[in-house]
Amino acid sequence: MELHDVWFVLIAVLWTGYFFLEGFDFGVGVLTKLLARNRPEKRVLINTIGPVWDGNEVWLLSAGGATFAAFPEWYATLFSGFYLPLLVILVCLIVRGVAFEYRAKRPEEKWQRNWETAIFWCSLLPAFLWGVAFGNIVHGVKIDKNLEYVGGLGDLLHPYALLGGLVTLTLFTFHGAVFTALKTVGDIRERARRLALRVGLVTAVVALAFLLWTQADTGNGRSLVALVVAVAALVAALAANQLGREGWSFALSGVTIVAAVAMLFLSLFPNVMPSTLDPSWSLTVTNASSSPYTLKIMTWCAGIATPIVLLYQGWTYWVFRKRIGTQHIAEAAH
Amino acid sequence: MNLALAPETLARWQFGITTVYHFLFVPLTISLAALTAGLQTAWVRTEKEKYLRATKFWGKLFLINIAMGVVTGIVQEFQFGMNWSDYSRFVGDIFGAPLAFEALIAFFFESTFIGLWIFGWDKLPKKIHLACIWMVSIGTILSAYFILAANSWMQHPVGYRIDKAKGRAELTDFWAVLTQNTALTQAFHTLSAAFLTGGAFMVGIAAYHLARKKHVGAMKTSLRLGLITVVIAGLLTAISGDTLGKVMFKQQPMKMAAAEALWDGQKPAPFSIFAYGNVEKGHNTVAIEIPGLLSFLADDSFSSYVPGINDVNKAEQQKFGPGDYRPNIPVTFWGFRWMIGFGMASFAIGLAGLWLTRKKFLLPQHLRVGEDEVPHLVLFKNKALSPQLTTWFWRIAVWTLAFPLIANSWGWIFTEMGRQPWAVYGVLQTRQAVSPGVSQGEVLTSMAVFTALYAILAVVEVKLLVKYVKAGPPELTEADLNPPTKIGGDLRDADKPMAFSY
């Protein structure tokens, strides 16, 4: 295994970390409209991710920065090519972050309602668009011989990619619902479990369709294994949810995300962004990667930093392990 | 869409807008994290309530500010790929590494521990909670260092070679990138300026309350902390700025010649306080100059030769081929002066404030005040300033908070525009760096979206800051004074409300 292969795996790990972690906080954002019945319940939901959403989002910045360093061509083609969808994602992440911090800082009804609307849409849209983006990465896009994306916006919105968007949206919402069941107490916990069942069933249908399509299109033996794990984990997560085993259910929905991302990357390898115009124009781990020297330095950095990050982020979840309910939300002083 | 603009013009405007805007929040984040941590340390050590109230007050303003810093920083991570894909392809092997280091080491630190600090008041023992804000502070400083090392490589590329076959620059010595004198000096200069910014922010807001005789205890402490920060940081900013100037005279003579509007080399070279010139003809029509000072700034000697814009332009034409290697001279010239002028104005006000509000030193007994009284402003030995002058002093002290923000912005505009036409000095020109596949319409769209969004958020943010500034430090609660002793907080009282919730 050469260093650029190691980095292919590491990029996959960073995206997996991002979708695992921000996956549930996008889901929780969507649930503020789907599950919460009133403002105190909305606040319970927002506060389950309050201390952690910012740290979760850094997985995205790390994936972006590491792609820049390890696969400059991939970084350049991907973000200049998916320009407008990425713009929407960035705007959403900006507004969403500010919304969390500022929503409770004024008592006016209109102020709070506007930020709540922002939290919902700015969680839903990126959750959908990341799926569209990955659908396109795996499927391949119009890349010319200079490794430039030459398609338009319309070329990115084909059925396979849109289905990918539905998968991430539903999967993250399911992941958010089981997370809510794990982190809350009282009525909202029960309803989160019931909603998780319904969302989970929809997820199972779209995810199965998307993963089978992927397998048929670009799959191989290893991706098939990941597919089976993803589907089995999702079914098991639903079963655990029904049995009231919330910790298991969350862990298993996490495994679903890990396996699904693994499947996408396994069916992608050794390409990082295939060209639909001519296979020889595809970006691959070899033609898109940095020099061995840069990759070596990056390997040291990621090899040391990532486990430490996991340790202190894990510790954060332990500090905030207590379940919360409406009784824990104080009327904010203004 | 054809707008009859050079392909890089809109992308440059967008980068300028998003980056200058982002950098309004960055220096405040860096300095307020450390200053808040300092105040909280004082609380943990002395258990004096005024320190805790000050911590809570500045901590809240810090959080309102860092929220904007964090979200506008996300754009920074991706816009190289979006608008500058050829740049990314050409330099990613080098430039990407410090960016990735920044994310993996500094951003994770900052973002994880800020969550622990915000929500941790009733979950963490006092000292661990204090450690969290220090971790945030370390994160902000590391982050600044990595990104400045990346920028310094654009100013003065080192530790690389050009791979002609692959058509890109490749890293050969990462240590050189991290420790070259450009990076060290630039980090020193930027970090001192950040503390000047935070100090002035504290001075301005504390002055606002003290002029109204409100929240005197906590605000007097804050004023003093702010003034001392301004004076020390101001001094360091000047020293590091001088060093950076000397480094730049060697590494980018064009930038410094443009900063002086020095058209033709002179020995000794004067420093111009004011100049108005003709860029086409390449000379100044009006100039007010101090003889020899520029030579001193460039080389520590009042008599050495400093090359002019026309000389450097010719030299670069010989080295890199035909072309115009001059940056925008008026912007560079005035940017340099506004940076120094506004920065040093806040330093001067800080120095004056520290003297006027002194506690005991050369101050007669009858002009000294107690813990909860607004200090008299005493210029000479035995007499306080008149009420009118006092009002004016507090007013100017309030304005001071804007000065370093203006200075910082012009500092970046100066150093980045002064490097033009290069994106990476001597290696890659800006016009070669843009994304060939992105249309002007797309760039215009994203620029319009970001500008509008940033404008709206600026209004929201400033209004919120004003509200919390006016409200003053909060009253302390029972819970504030009795922090938990165990990690995770008191788990027995199952229904106790959270100390802080969104």
- pLDDT (tens digit, 9 = 90+) per residue, B149-204? 999 999 999 999 999 999 999 999 999 999 999 999 999 999 999 999 999 999 99
Q: How far is CA A182 from CA A176, A186, A210, A296, in A?
A: 10, 11, 28, 40
Can you give the pLDDT at residue B5? 81
Give Dmax over CA atoms of chain B in angstroms: 80
Residues B92 and B35 placed together within one structural domain of the fold: yes
Is there a contact between B497 and A64 if contact means CB atoms under 8 Å apart? no
Distance from CA of B81 to the nearest CA of A (A): 5
Q: What is the predicted pLDDT for the residue at B4?
A: 72
Q: With H, G, I as helix, E, B as strand and everything else as coil, classify residue B429.
A: strand
**What span, in angstroms and rounded, lies between the C-alpha atoms of B350 and B227?**
5
Secondary structure class of A273 (helix, strand, coil): strand
Output DSSP code: residue B57. Answer: H
CA distance A216 to B424: 46
Cβ separation of A65 and B114 shorter than 8 Å? no
Q: Kindly give the residue spans of alpha helices, DSSP state H, lying in B47-84.
A: 49-83
Cα distance between residue A12 and residue B103, in whole Å: 16
Task: Mark yes or no for CB contact A80/B102 under 8 Å.
Answer: no
**B487: chain A residues, CB-CB within 8 Å:** 318-319
- Confirm or reject contact between B387 and chain A (CB < 8 A): no
Q: Which residues on adjacent β-strands are paired with residue B271? A: B290
Return the pLDDT at B366: 81
Contact between chains at A68 and B88 (C-beta distance less than 8 A): yes
- B497 is a domain residue: no
Q: pLDDT category, B209, cuts 50, 70, 90?
A: very high
Tell whether B111 is within 8 A of chain A (Cβ). Answer: yes
Q: What is the Cα–Cα distance from B284 to A66, expressed in whole angstroms?
A: 48
User: How far apart are the C-alpha atoms of A286 and B421, rounded to whole Å?
Assistant: 32
Which of these, B175, B80, B137, B182, lies nearest to A300 by C-alpha position? B175
The answer to whether B210 touches B361, Cβ cutoff 8 Å, is no
CA angle A9, A12, A16 (to 5 degrees): 140
Same domain for B50 and B112, yes or no, is: yes
Residue B210 has pLDDT above 70, yes or no: yes
B278 in the same domain as B176? no
Residue A249 CB: number of other CB atoms within 10 A? 28
Compute the average pLDDT of residues B402-420: 97
Residue A31 makes CB contacts below 8 A (sequence gap 6+) with: A45, A173, A176, A177, A180, A192, A195
Residue B367 lies inside a defined structural domain of this protein: yes
Residue B68 forms part of a structural domain: yes
Confidence check: pLDDT of B432 > 80: yes
Considering the domain boundaries, does residue B359 fall inside one? yes
Q: Which residue of B has its CA nearest to A303?
A: B104
Residues A19, A62: Cα–Cα separation, whole Å:
13
Q: What is the DSSP string of A175-239?
A: HHHHHHHHHB-SHHHHHHHHHHHHHHHHHHHHHHHHHHHHHHHH--HHHHHHHHHHHHHHHHHHH
The terminus-to-terminus CA distance of chain A in angstroms comes to 58
d(CA A180, CA A191): 10
Place of tokens 């679903």: A256
Q: Are residues B198 and B334 in the same domain?
A: yes
B66 phi-psi bin (left φ>0, alpha ψ -120 to 50, beta other): alpha
pLDDT of the residue at B1: 52
The answer for residues whose C-beta is within 8 angstroms of residue A18's C-beta and 6 or more apart is: A56, A59, A60, A62, A63
Is A143 part of any domain? yes
Chosen for mutation from A21, A71, A80 (greatest number of chain B CBs closer than 10 Å) is: A80
Q: Rounded CA gap, B116 and B136, in Å?
A: 10
Cα–Cα distance for residue pair A332/B500, rounded to 1 Å: 8
User: By the CB < 8 Å criterion, does B72 face chain A?
Assistant: yes
In a domain, B487, yes or no: no
Residue B5 vs residues B1, B9, B132, B440: alpha-carbon distances, Å = 11, 6, 49, 9
Q: Which of B70, B93, B468 is nearest residue A72 as measured by Cβ atoms?
A: B93
Structure confidence at residue B491 as a pLDDT band (50, 70, 90):
low
Check if the beta carbon of residue B404 is closer than 8 Å to that of residue B27: yes
Q: What residues have CB less than 8 Å from A103, skipping those under 6 apart?
A: A46, A111, A112, A115, A116, A119, B502
**What is the structure's pLDDT at B384?**
85
CB contact under 8 A, B501 and A330: yes
Residue pair B203/B353 in contact by the 8 Å Cβ criterion: yes
CA distance B421 to chain A (A): 22
Determine the distance in angstroms separating the CA of A171 from the nearest CA of chain B, rounded to an integer. 24
Residues in chain A with CB shorter than 8 Å from the CB of B473 are none
Q: What is the mean pLDDT of residues B219-237?
A: 96
Q: What is the residue-wise DSSP string for B147-158?
A: HHHHHHHHHS--
% of chain B with per-residue pLDDT over 70 = 99
pLDDT reported for residue B289: 84
Question: What is the SS3 assignment for B158-222?
Answer: CCEEEECCCCEEEECCHHHHHHCHHHHHHHHHHHHHHHHHHHHHHHHHHHHHHHCCCCHHHHHHH
Are the beta carbons of B82 and A79 separated by less than 8 Å? yes
Residue with tokens 């922010």: B201
pLDDT of residue B501: 85
Residues of A in contact with B164 (CB under 8 A): none
Residue of A47, A98, A115, A300 to mutate for B, most B C-beta atoms under 10 A:
A98
| ipTM of this predicted structure | 0.94
Cβ atoms of B210 and B220 within 8 Å: the answer is: yes
Question: Which residues of chain A have a pLDDT value below 70?
Answer: 332-334
Q: What is the pLDDT of residues B249-272, one digit of tens each?
A: 999 999 999 998 888 888 888 888
- Give yes or no: residues B287 and B182 share one domain: no
Task: Report if residue A167 sits inside a domain.
Answer: yes
Facing A316 at nearest CB: one of B116, B446, B464: B116
Nearest CA in chain A to B125: A319
Distances (CA, A) of A93 to A98, A134, B16, B105: 9, 18, 21, 21
Does B491 touch chain A if contact means CB atoms closer than 8 Å? Answer: yes
Say if B492 falls within a structural domain. no
pLDDT at A323 (0 to 100): 92
Q: Do B114 and A54 touch (CB under 8 A)?
A: yes
- Give B-chain residues touching A71 at CB under 8 angstroms: 92
Taking an 8 Å cut-off on Cβ atoms, the answer to whether B111 and A58 are in contact is: yes
Dihedral sign (CA A228, A230, A236, A239): negative
Q: B74 contacts in A (CB within 8 Å)?
A: 57, 60-61, 90, 93-94, 97
Between chains, do B97 and A58 touch, taking CB under 8 Å as contact? no
> What's the pLDDT tens digit per position in B69-128?
999 999 999 999 999 999 999 999 999 999 999 999 999 999 999 999 999 999 999 999
Number of domains composing chain B? 2
| Candidate from B74, B93, B94 with C-beta closest to A90 | B74
Task: Say whether pLDDT at B137 is over 80.
Answer: yes
Whether residues A316 and B501 touch (CB distance < 8 A) is answered with: no
Cα separation, B254 vs B311, in Å, equals 9
For chain A, what is the largest distance between any 2 Cα atoms, rounded to a whole number of angstroms?
Answer: 62
* Contact between B103 and A61 (Cβ < 8 Å): yes
Instruction: Decide if B63 and A101 are in contact by the 8 Å CB cutoff.
Output: yes
Residue B327: CA count within 13 A, CB half-sphere: 31
Residues B309 and B379 grouped into a single domain: no
Candidates A79, A84, A98; nearest CB to B67: A98
Tell whether A225 is covered by a domain: no
Best residue of A39, A75, A82, A106 to probe chain B, by most B CBs closer than 10 Å = A75
In 10 A of CB B446, how many CB atoms? 25
Task: Name the residue with higher pLDDT: B336 or B497.
Answer: B336
Interface contact flag, A306 B457, Cβ < 8 Å: no
Any chain A CB within 8 A of the CB of B93?
yes
User: What is the pTM for the complete model shown?
Assistant: 0.95
Is B195 found in the same domain as B215?
Answer: yes
Contact of B400 with B346, CB cutoff 8 Å: yes
Q: Do A309 and B163 touch (CB under 8 A)?
A: no
Which residue among B72, B97, B468 sits closest to A298, beta carbon to beta carbon?
B97
Q: Is the dihedral of CA B425, B427, B431, B434 positive or negative?
A: negative
Please report where in the chains the tokens 């390898």 appear, as a residue.
Answer: A269
Sequence-separated (6 or more) residues with CB below 8 Å from residue B24: B405, B408, B409
Contacts of B490 (CB under 8 A, 6+ apart): B122, B484, B496
Is B95 an interface residue toward A (CB < 8 Å)?
A: yes
Instruction: Look at A267-271, B20-24, B278-282 and tell me which has the smallest mean pLDDT.
Output: B278-282
Q: B138 to chain A nearest CA, in Å?
A: 15
Q: Kindly state whether residue B203 falls inside one of the protein's structural domains.
A: yes
| Tokens encoding B254 | 């064009």
Q: How far apart are the first and last CA of chain B?
A: 44
The Cα of A57 is separated from the nearest Cα of chain B by a number of Å equal to 9
Beta-carbon separation of A106 and B114 below 8 A: no
Residue A203's Cβ-count burial label (10 Å; 0-12, 13-18, 19+) is buried
In a domain, A242, yes or no: no
State the Cα–Cα distance between residues B27 and B15, nearest whole angstrom: 18
Domain of B263? 255-326
Number of cross-chain residue pairs from A and B with Cβ atoms under 8 Å apart: 256
> Closest approach of chain A CAs to the CA of B221, in angstroms?
24
Asked whether the beta carbons of residue A319 and residue B120 sit closer than 8 angstroms, the reply is yes
> How far apart (Å, rounded) are the C-alpha atoms in residues B388 and B397?
14
Is residue A196 within 8 Å of residue A181, measured between CB atoms?
Answer: yes
Q: Report the residue from A69, A84, A87 with minimal CB separation from B99.
A: A69
Residue at A103 is within a domain = yes
Verify whether the Cβ–Cβ distance A106 to B467 is below 8 Å.
yes
Quote the domain boundaries for residue A123. Answer: 3-188+271-328
**Residue B2 pLDDT greater than 70, yes or no:** no
Co-location of B317 and B332 in the same domain: no
The reply to whether B239 and B304 lie within a common domain is no
Strand partners, B289: B272
Q: Does B468 contact A at CB distance below 8 Å? A: yes
Distance CA(A257)–CA(A237), nearest Å, equals: 11
Per DSSP, the three-state class of A297 is: helix
Is B128 within the bounds of a domain?
yes
Most A CBs within 10 Å, among B108, B116, B424, B493, to test the A interface: B108
Quick one: B411 and B370 in the same domain? yes
Give dist(CA B383, CA A181) in Å, integer. Answer: 68
Query: What per-residue confidence (pLDDT) applies to B64?
Result: 96
> Given B295, B326, B357, which residue is the final one in a domain?
B326
Question: Could A83 and B495 be called an inter-chain contact, meaning their C-beta atoms sit closer than 8 Å?
Answer: no
**CA-closest candidate to residue A106, choices B20, B66, B502:** B502
Search chain B and give the residue with CA nearest A153.
B442
pLDDT at B29: 96
Residues B366 and B444 in one domain: yes
Count of domains observed in chain A? 1
Measure A206 CA to nearest chain B CA, in Å: 30
> DSSP assignment, residue B484?
-
**In this complex, is the C-beta atom of B97 within 8 Å of any C-beta atom belonging to chain A?**
yes
Is residue B3 predicted with pLDDT exceeding 70?
Answer: no
pLDDT surpassing 60 at residue B235 = yes
B267 and B213: one domain? no
